[in-house]
Amino acid sequence: MRKPFIAANWKMNKTVSETQEFISKFIPAVKDLRNVDIAIAPPFTSLIVAAENLKNTDILLSAQDVFYEEKGAYTGEISPLMLIDIGCKYVIIGHSERRQYFKETDDIVNKKIKAAKKAGIGIIFCIGETLEERESGKTFDVLQVEIEKGLSGIDDSGTIIAYEPIWAIGTGKTAATEQAQEAHSYIRERLRILFSEKADEMRIIYGGSVTPENIDALMACKDVDGALVGGASLKVESFTKIVKFGKE
Ligand code: PGA
């Protein structure tokens, strides 16, 4: 009942011409796929050209970040309205790299989510624990705080949650399927507290070293509704295999 959602997070990769090259090969490779929502999140500089190239396809355009003010003197920032203006349907908010390198706090993440909601753009809200937190048995506490603070004051359930254990991002170490399912099921429990039965319609996607080799096992988990893919989304061949999970 929850349609799978698989997103490519290109991070700080790909020039405009590399973006065009990827999209021109990717569109025909996935044109008959109907059972999965696919999103691509290129860097800001490639968004416009990606929007033009994705026109007339079902592939959704996503940004990787957004600022929480509508406009004004915020050098270097991009507002939700600017993203909507060029055709973005989603934005990633609270990625662990933003939290780690750019000091984004739960409070900033919450402001961004509120601003994006107000503007009407879809949200991919990232949460996840560090290795140290996992090893000291704090995974659920960390997830609980990130959910409560990140979604504070949000009264509708139309957000995609990306569970991304930080120790699995870019490391080649994927969470075992049991670990992923356990975390996703805990996240859904917390979402039920906020959104009651609507939580069962919310998509909780997994991120952290997703590859064509491990996608099938992850997607077979009851509460894993898709994936946020970094490294393996940079090549048309591997990302195509991932969005066609369960088929080859
Ligand atoms: P990865 O990144 O697939 O390269 O581990 C995932 C992410 O950070 O979204």
Phi first, then psi: what are they for 47, rounded to 5°?
A: -65, -45
The whole-angstrom separation of Cα 139 and Cα 77 is 32
Give every residue of the chain whose pLDDT is below 70, as ranges: 248
In the DSSP assignment, the letter for residue 174 is P
In the DSSP assignment, the letter for residue 58 is S
**For position 173, what pLDDT does the model report?**
84
Which residue is associated with the tokens 């739960």? 106
Q: Which residues are catalytic?
A: 95, 164
Ligand 1 atom nearest residue 170's Cα: 5
Global pTM reads: 0.97
Reduced to 3 states (helix: H, G, I; strand: E, B; else coil), residue 67 is: coil
Handedness of CA 182, 185, 186, 187 (dihedral sign): positive
Other C-beta atoms closer than 10 Å to the C-beta of 29 total: 15
User: Token pair of 228, please?
Assistant: 């946020």
Distance from the alpha carbon of residue 218 to the mean position of ligand 1, in angstroms: 14
Ligand 1 atom nearest residue 9's Cα: 9
Is the CB of residue 165 below 6 angstroms from any atom belonging to ligand 1? Answer: no
**For position 174, what pLDDT does the model report?**
83
Distance from the alpha carbon of residue 233 to the mean position of ligand 1, in angstroms: 9
Which residue is associated with the tokens 């009942």? 1
Ligand 1 atom nearest residue 210's Cα: 3
The whole-angstrom separation of Cα 243 and Cα 227 is 9
DSSP count for the chain of H helices, then E strands: 10, 8
On the 0-12 / 13-18 / 19+ scale of CB atoms within 10 A, 182 is middle
Residue 239: C-alpha distances to residues 3, 32, 53, 209, 233 (Å):
18, 15, 18, 12, 5
The whole-angstrom separation of Cα 78 and Cα 207 is 25
Q: Whose CA is nearest to atom 2 of ligand 1?
A: 230
The whole-angstrom separation of Cα 124 and Cα 109 is 11
The whole-angstrom separation of Cα 162 and Cα 158 is 13
